[in-house]
Structure 1
C-alpha cells in the first residue's frame, strides 16, 4: 500500500559483496594457515589462522564495489556518470542477464559484473562525446536501480 506521507528515498546504495561460497572458501584458508604454523607452536598457529581468516573475509567484503545513486550521479565502483547523460535503463535477469554478461557484452560497453549476482542493469549513454555506448553492471535489485535512475532523470 502506498503511503503519501512516507518520504520517497532520493538515493540508492548497494554493496556488491561476494557470494557466501566465496566467503566460505576464503575462510577455509584460516585452518590451512594454522596447519602450516602448528609444528612451531599451536597457540601461535591458532592466532595466525584466525587472523588470516578475518583479514581475507573482511578484505573481500570491504573492497567489494558499491553501486550508488545520489545527487544526480550514478557511481558504480570507481566510475561515475551524471544520470542526465544516460538513457532509459534496462533490467535483465535470468537468461537475458547471462547473455548480457557473455556474448551480449560489446567492446564499447563499460561493465562491472560480479559472479553470484544474477541481476544486470544495462543503461545506454546518451552523451555523444562519451566513447562508451552503455553501462552494464550487476545488481541484486536491478528493478530498484532502474527505478531510481529513472526517478533521478525526471528530477524527483
Structure 2
C-alpha cells in the first residue's frame, strides 16, 4: 500500500496451523469412533472442528491498521500525535525487545508465527505505556505508514 492509503494487515494464522488442527480433530474422531460407535462420534468431531475453526479464526483476526490519523493494533488505538519514534525490527531484535529487553508496561500484539515486528514509541504524557510492539508480516511497510501519519502537535 502507498503511504497515502495507509496500512491494513490481518494477522491470520498460517495454513500449517489449520492443517495440524485438522489432523488433531481427525485423531480425535478416530479415538471417539472406536470408543463410541454411531452418530455420537460424528457429533463430537463436528463440535471439535467447529471449536477449532472458531479458535483459529478469532486468534488470527487481529488487525493492524493505520488510517485517518489513527494507529490501531488489535483492540488498542492511538492517535497519530502520540506516535513517536517508529522502528521496524528483524527477528532477532523482536526476540530481544519481546524478551530480555522488554518493559512490562508495553503494549504487545505478538503472534508466535510472525517473527518480525514494529516498535512504536508512545509520547502521550498521560499514558504510562512506553511503546507498542506489534507483529507484522511487512514491518517496513507498517513503519513507513506510521512515519507518514500527519501529526497535529
Query: Shared topology, TM-score over 0.5?
Result: yes
Deviations 1:29-83 (A, max 9, x none): 2113312431433555346435523541343123322111221111111111112
Is the Cα contact below 8 Å between 1:26 and 1:56 reproduced in 2?
yes
Query: What SS does structure 1 have at the residue aligned with 2:144?
Result: helix
Greater shift, 45-54 or 117-126, is seen at 45-54
In the alignment, what sits opposite 1:30? 25
| 1:22 Cα offset (Å) | 3.1
Aligned to 2:80: 83
Instruction: Choose between structure 1 and 2 for higher RCO, CA contacts under 8 A separated by at least 6 residues.
Output: 2
Alignment correspondent of 2:105: 108
Q: How many residues were matched structurally?
A: 149
Unaligned runs of 5+ in 2: none
Question: Do 1:87 and 1:123's aligned partners in 2 also have CA atoms closer than 8 Å?
Answer: yes
Unaligned runs of 5+ in 1: 1-6
TM-score by length of 2: 0.82
What secondary structure does 1:152 align onto?
coil
Moved more, 54-63 or 41-50: 41-50
CA distance in 1, matches of 2:3, 2:123: 27
Q: Alignment RMSD, CA only?
A: 2.4
Do residues 11 (structure 1) and 6 (structure 2) align? Answer: yes
